[in-house]
Structure 1
Amino acid sequence: LVLRVDVAGDPSFTELLDQVRHRSLGAYEHQDVPFELLVERLNPTRSLTHHPLVQVMLAWQNFAGDSGPAAGLALGDVEVTPMPVDTQTARMDLTFSLAERWSEDGEPAGIGGTVEFRTDVFDAASIEALVGRLQRVLMAMTADPTRPLSSFELLDEAERDRLDEIGNRAALTEASMAYRSIPALFAAQVTRAPGAVAVTCDGRSLTYRELDEAANRMAHFLVSRGAGPGQQVALLFSRSTEAIVAILAVLKSGAAYLPIDPALPDARIEFVLADAAPVAAITTADLAGRLAGQSVTVIDVHDPAVAIQPGTALRTAPSPEDLAYLIYTSGTTGVPKGVAVTHRNVTQLLASTASGLPRAGVWSQWHSLAFDVSVWEVFGALLQGGRLVVVPESVARSPEDLHALLVEERVSVLSQTPSAAGALSPAGLESATLVVAGEACPAELVEQWTRGRAMINAYGPTEATIYAAVSAPLSAGSIAVPIGSPVPGAALFVLDGSLRPVPAGVVGELYVAGAGVAGGYWQRAGLTASRFVACPFGGSGTRMYRTGDLVRWRADGQLDYLGRADEQVKIRGYRIELGDVRAALALVDGVEQAVVIAREDRPGDKRLVGYVTGSVDPAAVRGALADRLPGYMVPAAVLMVQELPLTPNGKLDTRALPVPEYQDADRYRAPGNAVEEILAGIYAQVLG
């Protein structure tokens, strides 16, 4: 019999027994229905990797008064002795065959039995741990059957200690280091090597002294315009040396920098400026028009008034607790939210020599300044004496040109999203360490990049300051690519819905605590309180960030990433709330109902797709969205449907939504392997 157990509402053990009894008795009336017929009628999604409908089976035998597994089997004078047999196969992932035991004098002697399991899913140690947990839970339930299910402890002391160790719980009680601000650490590096090259971009280089003096001049000018601690200064720049100077200048002034990507639509820029209320905005002459009509003082980075400012340091310096930057991410309600990150949040990550992240060398700066990985790119180089190679905007869009630049500049630390790294050739980059982050890393990318060079998979939401976990160096042959273990200063907890740690191997939601947890969301107290919650594993006032990511601990102490617990997705490294896109879609004239999902109709090719009801032109809808949303948030296709399909429970049936036909004729993708190169060559020759 296939039975469904409902534990919603956190029932007590007594209530659960009652429910199971009624469901079982009702199901016994249909026990003659063949299992094959049930599968045929329900038609579940088939898979060669597991049994349909159910993967766990319980066989319960309770022949009163008998003591062995052969109880109830009578063969005259023949003595029956059970013999364990290795069947070499397992029908289910997990099968419990349990029975009551009785002593020779007929007294109850507990429960015994066997566990059969698939060796490609479980190992013997995992099954032994599972049986131990089952014993603990059964003993606790029978001792007090009125307790709610969530109150029963699955873990023993050894398991709790192990989770504390691999999750780095000790980070919450370690003595706090005397962290310094970003400008203070940069000044120390200038003193150590003033003549070393700090930044290179488009054939132009600045030494550490030249970069420091240029930033000082801009910082003096910003202070004269009202910048200082507690203020924000917006930055509207393409990737450039001027952008690096402006970032340092804002930080030296004591203000926090607010990066705005020029690719954002005007409506988005207007919202960010209104919400953050920066005291000024620095940009270039060619981008200044994007700020026209905004109520913010616009400063041209090449203003002659900046050049006459002193190149010496300001007399005052920011505190480690001052805000360093404000980066806006997608919001669940359709409203972007600004994440407020302090100097201490950043410097505690970069100051550690045990994080597993690369140290000084030649670093590339490829990410948008509005993506927090850029913070690590910039200051991972400049606070450690490295050389920062800023990738010009035109080069960043071309994998071939980017590859040529990386080889020419002998870049040794390369940071990419997995999607971008997949389009980049590893040839000639044998001395580079590749750090991927921003989205799930596919195993095939590891196969492509790990031969002959180091590759690291890093994980961290903006709210936990860039990276909270870093993998050990990856190696080819991995089936699942881990997101790693906590960086120094971070504590990671995999919890259930009641904020209780789940055992290793069990899926739970990831919570991040420690020195990297940001201050919260800018002027969003309610949202901050819902995502930055009290941490029950640290002292009074300790907070942890609820990531919404589903993970599990591996036996080696690293985490596997399994997806999102909510509607937030990552596409090409950008974190996108589907609610944000859906809200914009619903505002288009003529749209009655709207839904947005992330489809992956081809492996590794994840895209946003919108479905609408009403009377609209799908092409016009995409055009309207392009005026309101960044390009990466505009669905690859918008489809008209007569009605949105629903499941019997009244929820959206995403499997019933039609597959779109993408319009990719104007998009170029380079051949990904030798076969594609040959085919591309043949077509090119035939078509001329």
Structure 2
Amino acid sequence: MAVSAEPSIELDEGLHQRIARLARQRPDAPAVIAPQRRLSYGELDATADAWAAGLTAAGVGPGDQVPIILPREADLVIALLAVLKAGAAYALLDPAWPAARLREVTAMLDAPLVIASAEVDGLDLPVWTSPAPQVAAPPEFRPAELRGDAPCCVFFTSGTTGRPKGVLTPHRATARLFRPGSFLPFDEHTVIPLAAPVPWDAFSLELWGALLNGGTSVIVDGPYLNADGLRAGIERHGVTTAWLTSSLFNMVVDEDVDAFRGLRHLMIGGERLSPTHVERFLRRHPDIVLLNGYGPVESTVFATTHRIVPSDVDRPDGIPLGRPVPGTEVHVLDGDRPCAPGEIGEVCVTGAGLGLRYLGDEQLTASSFVTVRIDGRDVRAYRTGDLGTVDGNGLLHFRGRADRQVKVRGHRVEPAEIERRVEELLPVRSCRVVVDRTGTEPRLIACCVPHRAGDPLTGARSTLGEVLPGYQLPAQVVAVDAFPTTAQGKLDERALLAGSAGTAHHVPQGDTAAAAGDASTALVAGIFAEVLGRSGVPVEVPLTDLGGTSLDLGRVCARLAARLGRPVPLARLVADPTARAVAAWIDAGPPAGDDDAAEPRDVGVVPLTPIQLIYLTRHLLDPADLTSHCLVTWVVDGPLDHAALVTALAAVHARHEPLRAAYLSDPRPVARVLDIDPPPLETLPAQPSVEAAVAALRTLFSAELLIEEGDVWRAGVVEAGDVSVFGCVVHHIAFDGWSESVFARDLATAYNAARRGTALPDSPAPPSLARSHRDYLARVAASSVDEHRDRLRAELNGVPALQWPGDQPASGRSALGLVEVPIEPRVVAAVDASARAARVSRFAALLHHYVTALAEITGQDDFAVGIPVAQRHGPGSELAVGCHIALLCLRHRGTAPADGPAALRATADRFTEAFAAQDVPFQDILILNEPPGRQRPPLFQTMFAVQNNAPAILELDGARTTFVRQPYLDVPLDLHAELWPRADGGYRMTVFFRRDVVAESTARQLAECIGARLARTA
């Protein structure tokens, strides 16, 4: 049998030729997923052939640059591919651009026609519309065969002359990014949202990053990718990789950091990164590869990338830009002289990614794309205007601009272009544009000296909006008497910005939320005001007219979704961003059949999830069982106000329905929300040490929890000298690892409010039990459970029991044993390197070493391992205390090599299959493995977990607190291994084992074997 390798991406061919090959090899593979349409590779290629034949007949051919004015949809992808097949280059233009802007750029293209769905106001070009879907290309049509240096696409960017610049780039410039061994593993499993503005080179990153290796492009219906869109893409389409500008990344981290859960890779950039936001992301999602991407459009998408690690956020000079991408070299030059390491110079880019020229501007092309002599050879380079240094490790660092250029929401903006337009369009003598960086994103302020003194320039923004695209439109147009200067006679931008800050932004008048008199309008208007940082807003005025940006719309969506318990489409706010209109949409309720319909918050009885059913069954069979007791404990150094603590416990009890519910069989398993008092704060006798106090709490928390009566949790405090030890026990049926940080945050908020004598601050409410269960059911309905159930039943049938070697285990009732092994940061770094080489996640690499060590210690090549995974996918789920987890069952068969990339990928593939089946109830497959003889846990006897939950930080006024990670009281399986993150980037590995089943020598041997295997990677 002959095996043919997948052809690699060639740099000396057209992008469309690569797509045609993929269509022949994998015609049914999904290429494009749009809200109302799906295209396989075969359908995409054939339809593009038909369109290309029509374009060729209309006169399009090599040397042409064809404008495409279509919304971000499937037809847009077909159209640009058709232009390439016709031998021409495409230019994607934003339909939302003002007519004057469209006329200007189409004139620069000198195009024979424009591709659009209808006539475009003000354009004299013939409009070419798509043929009927069933039309096929005539037999005689042959797509153009192009070389890699042929023109491919035109990107328009801001120019200093007052006119936009059109950068013409070749096919090879895009293709170089997505070859094997590039900065990310782009392959047939890659699924990327297509959400960037269509004229931007990031659109190429998203589109071709998916398509050039057989992946899938998921088109986002909205102006940009917000948290709801990202979460929906991950859940519905398996999105693996995404791109966000720095501003948009910051917004999602602020508003809904759990929206990233399920991603494998996230690329960010376009502006300087915020270390604070990066740190929060890495702490919450350590297994997601976070990549900083840098590159001007003249070098096509990225020139350098850098995988961000936790230590990067502490660099005093900011997060590095990284190292060159394939086919690219980056040099830091002082004129034509290469700079020494650490010396600041201009960043210059060479290689296959460079643009061919600027349209219609030979002089600018000659000054920007220059020939420099480097290492004894003459090379063509682009002078970026960015200042940078290269450190001793070869990492590029940003050091500012050599000119005034700024980035706004990832768009390159030349203030000079805006100034020239303002002076052309408004009655002003001169204009200077300054940048206000005090808010969540940069704001452009146009400061103008009017022709007539005292002219307020009313209506200036409306006039400019007829010519300038949204990202260039100043947030304010301010009239000034004169421009302040420095002692050297130069413009004093700081003084000008300070003066404009004192000029109030004009807010149109109208009814306030209070005057409107209804709750929904008051809710929306309150969120508008919250986002804008104001005390109130008129309800009939669009958020954008109140000074809000497009990202502010996204913040409103995220906060509304959290308050309402269901997604709020970004497109809804974009269509009519007034508080009155959004409130009307809320009051109308979702359309019939809308899966996002909100449940009433006070539904008394809710069915249990499969994992909760397991916990309930275990409790009913043995009420004294301690395996579901979750402990949280803090040492409090400083005065602890017991009265405030009691008030805080009551507030948390009232806020989280799972903590005040009864879990019972009624006769079906349900949770019944109760109106019951919170547990009392039990004060235990003082102890001589912290250790003794912790032991006293463990004794208190070892008592039975009567969950069928609503006795779900308890709290206690012990004095130990100058400190107090405070803790709680919560039954696992109402709690999980993520809940620890939520519980701590809410408890601290309520405690501090009680001490200060103030009301609890307004905050989004967590979803009710009913809403959480509804979100779970929606997820199950979309996850092909029947298909995965059948596969799991076949996969897990007859899993043999693990036979533990070693000394005879202790007899009698189980006593829990514990072995701990440290994993140093350098070992973790080495594991990451091996994972990257194998194109798998850190977790998959760690899991591989666990199962391989288990096989080595037991001598078995067939067994199963349990893996807990979080299931917090619904709106607001990150705010909830509750049990939102599932258990995966991974069957390990020793059919792969013990080590190396192939072995890691084999384990990763098995985990991916298990992860895809996470919504299959365990009860559906447990019957396969009724254990013969001695009673062992069905399916698997061991569990492996890598903990990545946020730390449980209890910030109490007037005291310092330290979280104490207590050992489990008991575990349900024979052996339970976990990796807990350390502050230095390493791990603490804990191996809990039941002494009546596993000998201590065996548990220690397994822990040491895992540690040794991991250490060998370093």
Structure 1: 4+ residue segments shifted above 6 A: 671-678
The amino acid of 1:189's aligned partner reads L
Tell me, yes or no, if structure 1 residue 505 matches structure 2 residue 364: no
The alpha-carbon distance between structure 1 residues 588 and 679, as it changes in their structure 2 partners (threshold 3 A), is farther
Whether the aligned pair in 1 keeps the contact of 2:11 and 2:175 (CA below 8 Å) is no
Residues 400-459 of structure 1 deviation map (CA, whole Å, 9 limit, x = unaligned):
344333433221010111111222234153331110122112112312322231110011
Q: Match for residue 937 of structure 2?
A: none
The one of 306, 310, 317 aligned to 1:475: 310
Aligned to 1:390: 219
Write the letter of the residue equivalent to 1:419.
Answer: S
Aligned pairs for 1:74-93 (under 5 A) are none
Contact 2:389–2:397 (Cα < 8 Å) also in 1: yes
From 255, 258, 277, give the equivalent of 1:427.
258
Q: Which has the higher contact order (CA 8 A, sep 6+)?
A: 1
Structure 2 CA distance for partners of 1:223 and 1:600, relative to 1, 3 Å: same
CA pair 374-351 structure 1, distance change in 2 beyond 3 A: same
Alignment partner of 1:613 out of 439, 449, 459: 449
Residue 682 of structure 1 and its aligned partner are, at CA, apart by 8.4
* 1:217 paired residue number: 50
Give 1:389 shift: 0.4
Deviation at 1:203, TM superposition (A): 4.2
Q: Among 95, 98, 101, which residue is 1:268 paired with?
A: 101
Letter of the structure 2 residue corresponding to residue 439 of structure 1 = E
Q: Alpha-carbon deviation of 1:590?
A: 2.0
Residue 282 (str. 1) matches residue 115 (str. 2): yes
Out of 297, 316, 320, the position equivalent to 1:462 is 297
Asked if 1 retains the 8 angstrom alpha-carbon contact of 2:230 and 2:260, the reply is no
User: 1:346-401: per-residue Cα shift (whole Å, max 9, x none)?
Assistant: 2122224233464441111110120011112111111101011011136x375434
Of residues 457, 469, 490, the one that matches 1:630 is 469
Cα distance change on mapping 1:189 and 1:652 into 2, 3 Å: same
| Runs of at least 5 residues in structure 2 that lack an aligned partner in the other structure | 1-8, 508-531, 538-542, 563-741, 750-759, 766-1018
- Please, which of 323, 326, 336 is the counterpart of residue 151 of structure 2? 323
Match of 2:490 in 1: 651
Cα deviation code 1:294-351 (max 9, x no counterpart): 22120122x4498254489625322322100011111011111110101122212222
Q: Which residue of 1 aligns with 2:412?
A: 575
1:345 pairs with 2:173: yes
3-state SS, counterpart of residue 542 of structure 1: strand
- Please, what TM-score do these two structures have when normalized by structure 2? 0.47
Indicate the larger mover: 305-314 or 180-189: 305-314
Partner residue of 2:240 out of 412, 433, 440: 412
Q: 617-626 or 220-229: which moved more?
A: 617-626
Structure 1's 682 and 438: CA in aligned 2 closer, same or farther, altered over 3 A? closer
2:322 corresponds to which of 463, 478, 484: 484
| SS in structure 1 of the partner of residue 96 of structure 2 | coil
Q: Percent identity over the alignment?
A: 31
Q: 1:553 aligns with which of 385, 390, 408?
A: 390
Between the aligned partners of 1:404 and 1:341, the Cα distance in structure 2 is: 33
- Distance in 1 separating the partners of 2:205 and 2:133: 31
SS in 2 for 1:209: helix
Shift of the 279–680 alpha-carbon distance from structure 1 to 2, 3 Å rule, reads farther
With the length of structure 1 as denominator, give the TM-score of the two structures: 0.68
Check whether the contact 1:598–1:608 (CA below 8 A) recurs between aligned residues: yes
Equivalent pair of 2:293/2:302 in contact (CA under 8 Å): yes
SS of residue paired to 1:439: coil
Residues 1:199 and 2:32 aligned together = yes
Deviation sequence 1:208-248 (CA, Å, 0-9, x none): 10111111100110100111110111101111011111111
- CA gap of 1:244–1:632, structure 2 versus 1, over 3 A, is same
More displaced 10-residue stretch of structure 1: 351-360 or 416-425 = 351-360
Q: 1:354 aligns with which of 175, 179, 182?
A: 182
More helix by share: 2
Asked if residue 335 in structure 1 is aligned to residue 163 in structure 2, the reply is yes
Aligned counterpart, 2:403: 566
Q: 1:184 to 1:312 in 2, by over 3 A?
A: farther
> Match of 1:246?
79
Tell me which amino acid in the other structure corresponds to 2:269. A
Q: 2:194: which partner in 1?
A: 365
Q: Which amino acid aligns with 1:506?
A: E
Report the secondary structure of 2:326's partner residue. Answer: coil
Q: Which residue of 1 aligns with 2:64?
A: 231
Give the greater-gyration-radius structure (CA): 2
Distance 1:469 1:594 in 2: 35
Asked whether the equivalents of residues 153 and 169 of structure 2 are also in contact (C-alpha less than 8 Å), the reply is yes
CA distance in 2, matches of 1:310, 1:478: 57
Deviates more, 1:346-355 or 1:504-513: 346-355
Correspondence 1:39-118 to 2 at 5 A:
none
Aligned CA distance change for structure 1 residues 222 and 180 (closer, same or farther; 3 Å): same
Given candidates 135, 139, 149, the residue that maps to 1:307 is 135
How has the CA–CA distance of structure 1 residues 539 and 306 changed in structure 2, closer, same or farther, with 3 Å as cutoff?
Answer: farther
Aligned to 1:171: none
Alpha carbons of 1:447 and 1:214: their partners in 2 closer, same or farther (altered >3 Å)? Answer: same
Equivalent residue for 2:380, pick from 536, 539, 543:
543
Query: Matched residues in 2 for 1:186 and 1:305: separation?
Result: 19
* Aligned residue type for 1:623: S
Q: Matched residues in 1 for 2:124 and 2:57: separation? A: 18
Over the aligned positions, Cα root-mean-square deviation in angstroms equals 2.7
* 1:679–1:421 CA distance, 2 compared to 1 (3 A): farther
Residue type of the alignment partner of 1:527: L
Worse-matched range after superposition: 236-245 or 499-508 = 499-508
Per-residue Cα deviation, 1:564-591 (whole angstroms, up to 9, x for no partner): 2111110111110000111111123421
CA-to-partner distance for each residue in 1:538-572, whole Å, 9 max, x for gaps? 67662100001111113332112222211111011
Query: Structure 2 vs 1, CA of residues 239 and 474 (structure 1 numbering), >3 Å: closer, same or farther?
Result: farther
- Tell me if the contact between 2:347 and 2:388 (Cα under 8 Å) persists in the aligned partners: yes
| Inter-partner Cα distance in structure 2 for 1:410 and 1:680 | 35
Q: 1:428 to 1:417 in 2, by over 3 A?
A: closer
Question: Who is 2:435 aligned against?
Answer: 598
Letter in 2 for 1:247: L
Task: Give deviations 1:431-488, integer Å, cap 9, x for gaps.
Answer: 3111012211211231232223111001111101111101124336613211111112
The 3 A distance-change label for structure 1 pair 444 and 619 is farther
Q: Any conservation in 1 of the 2:115–2:128 contact (CA below 8 Å)?
A: yes
1:325–1:340 Cα contact (<8 Å) kept: yes
Q: Structure 2 vs 1, CA of residues 537 and 244 (structure 1 numbering), >3 Å: closer, same or farther?
A: same
Q: Could you tell me how far apart the structure 1 residues matched to 2:134 and 2:102 are?
A: 25
Residue 454 and residue 589 in structure 1: after superposition, are their counterparts in 2 closer, same or farther (change >3 A)?
closer
* 8 Å Cα contact 2:332-2:345 kept in structure 1: yes
Sort the Cα spacing of 1:265 and 1:476 in 2 relative to 1 into closer, same or farther, 3 A.
Answer: farther
In 1: Cα distance, 2:226 partner to 2:262 partner: 21
Q: What secondary structure, in the 3-state scheme, does the structure 1 residue paired with 2:42 have?
A: helix
- AA aligned to 2:233 is L
Aligned residues: 500
1:443 aligns with 2:275: yes
One-letter amino acid of the structure 2 residue matched with residue 442 of structure 1? S
